[in-house]
Amino acid sequence: IAGITQAPTSQILAAGRRMTLRCTQDMRHNAMYWYRQDLGLGLRLIHYSNTAGTTGKGEVPDGYSVSRANTDDFPLTLASAVPSQTSVYFCASSLAGGVNHEQFFGPGTRLTVL
Amino acid sequence: GQNIDQPTEMTATEGAIVQINCTYQTSGFNGLFWYQQHAGEAPTFLSYNVLDGLEEKGRFSSFLSRSKGYSYLLLKELQMKDSASYLCVALDSNYQLIWGAGTKLIIKP
């Protein structure tokens, strides 16, 4: 693979179910991010990780959790999905966090919670 | 609070020039990005400005005025493939990104 990949591409999920969105990058970037994008709003940061083994909360972390066991992978888990979590989710990475580096985005996961 | 303002939608003609404006209010400032996002796709990086002035990159140029909290993206010789949303993103004093909602640019033949 080259760049950053996400899986699944799209998913329809019943409310209350647990779901993990996967994200993998092969650019050896230290920092990774999860965003959600909703119509009429800017991208909103859910969680981030500046280096393997560390994570931090973004603007809208409630209902989501992340882990960063290694440099390449940064999964996002919805423990008990709710309809308000219907959105397009983008994973991104950058060479380093906390600086002015551009971010590279995965293709996104379109999630619908019914 | 921190805020980005940019027009929701603009229309321009193929071959013409268009300027997309952005104003920002942030706690401190460490630069401004522009990203392009085609419908159904991921955002991709276009430019980064941290000093006042105009930076040109091919058909695209980006301008920054720190004193006015203002930036614009200038697209010349518009092509149909430039139809996309353009996201203005400010970097605050903590290096947190503040994302605008984007300007949807529609190019007509």
**CA dist list (Å): B105 to A75, B38, B80, B81:** 33, 10, 10, 10
Nearest Cα residue in chain A from B94: A98
The 10s digit of each residue's pLDDT in B35-87 is 999 999 999 999 999 999 999 999 999 999 999 999 999 999 999 999 999 99
Residue B7 pLDDT > 60, yes or no? yes
The 10s digit of each residue's pLDDT in A80-108 is 999 999 999 999 999 988 788 899 999 99
Smallest Cα distance from B10 to chain A, Å: 15
Give a three-class secondary structure readout of B36-69: EECCCCCCEEEEEECCCEEEEECCEEEEEECCCC
pLDDT attached to residue A98: 79
**CA dist list (Å): A29 to A50, A74, B54, B78:** 9, 12, 29, 34
Give the span between the Cα atoms of A20 and B67, in whole angstroms: 44
pLDDT attached to residue B2: 87
Residues of B with CB under 8 A from a CB of A: 4, 30-31, 33, 41-45, 48, 50, 87, 89, 91, 94-102
Per the listing, tokens 């949303």 go with B85
Smallest Cα distance from B8 to chain A, Å: 8
For residue B96, the chain A residues in CB contact (below 8 A) are 45
CA angle A19, A11, A108 (to 5 degrees): 95
Residue B106 near residue B86 (C-beta atoms within 8 A)? no
Q: Do A43 and B30 touch (CB under 8 A)?
A: no
Residue A2 pLDDT > 80, yes or no? no
Exposure string over B65-85, b if 16+ CB within 10 A, otherwise e: eeeebebbbebeebeeebbbb
Calculate the CA dihedral of residues B44, B30, A40, A15 and round it to 10 degrees.
80
User: Tokens standing for B74?
Assistant: 């200038």
**CA dist list (Å): A42 to A9, A112, B8, B42:** 21, 19, 11, 13
* Residue of A34, A37, A44 to mutate for B, most B C-beta atoms under 10 A: A37
Residue A40 pLDDT > 90, yes or no? no
Please tell me which of the candidates B42, B50, B89 has its beta carbon nearest to residue A107.
B42
The 10s digit of each residue's pLDDT in A45-83 is 999 999 999 999 999 999 999 999 999 999 999 999 999
In percent, the amount of chain B with pLDDT more than 70 equals 100
pLDDT confidence tier of residue A33, bands split at 50, 70 and 90: very high
pLDDT confidence tier of residue A1, bands split at 50, 70 and 90: low
In percent, the amount of chain A with pLDDT more than 70 equals 99
Nearest Cα residue in chain B from A99: B95
pLDDT attached to residue A97: 84
